[in-house]
Amino acid sequence: MARKILIQISAAIMLITAVSFQLGCRVGGNSASADDRLNKPLATPKIDRDRPKIVAFGDSLTAGFGLTEQESYPNLLQQMLTKDGFNYEVINAGVSGDTSLGGLERVDWVLGADNVQIMILELGANDLLRGGPPSKMKENLDTIIKKAQAKNVRVLLCGMFAPPTMGQDYQREFNAVFPDLAAKYKLAYLPFLLENVALKKDLNQADGIHPNAEGEKIMTANVYTALKPMLTAR
């Protein structure tokens, strides 16, 4: 178990190092599509008002940066749910470059959708890249979680790791945010979204940051493993 955690942390460190050269989750494929994706989800979803909803809420890793709508993890997750007989509709609420503050500023609108039952919360990498205080990130995520729970929306929290180059104190404080929140609110918890994807050249796009179509499948499987115990069968 300890070895697995060390591997995950090492992967996260290398991922963040690469991101620093690419301006994080805001930089990717061609500039025209990148500009479009900075301020909105990958695609406007078709919403069935009566179906229970799962909101995939996060940054470019959620939005599907550099991928087609069909290749994005929310779409792949939808396919997996349907195949296994779960009557949920997945809403892609990922915005490239988003921070925990950006998420907090738009969460009320997202939670306002009809019949939202679960939120997959994936934010924090861009706070790290900007060197933002972990305490402020924790405060923002805490408020997002409370807003979700106030609407009886269950949360699956996806974590991230800080590299040693940020300093031991910063690293320790940042890394503790996600498990602390998961424990405080008794949340379902995925420690590292990109487990088995990060650092693998054949599973990532040219920027070395964002998963390619094959990597996206593995990332989706990571999410689904953590999500499945939360689901109610059709």
Six-digit token string for 64: 């599907």
- Residue numbers in the chain where pLDDT is lower than 50: 2-45
Confidence (pLDDT) at 37: 39
What pTM was computed for the model?
0.80
225 CA to centre of own chain: 14
At 23 the pLDDT is 40
Question: What pLDDT sits at residue 159?
Answer: 92
Q: Using one digit for the tens of pLDDT, what is the confidence trace for 27-40?
A: 333 333 434 434 44
Residue 222 is predicted with a pLDDT of: 96
Catalytic positions = 60, 207, 210
Give how far Cα 76 sits from Cα of 98, 147, 173, 221, Å.
22, 27, 33, 9
Task: Note the pLDDT of residue 233.
Answer: 64
Domain ranges of the chain: 2-230
Contact yes or no for 180/145 (Cβ under 8 A): no
CATH code for the domain defined by 2-230:
3.40.50.1110
pLDDT, residue 47, reads 54
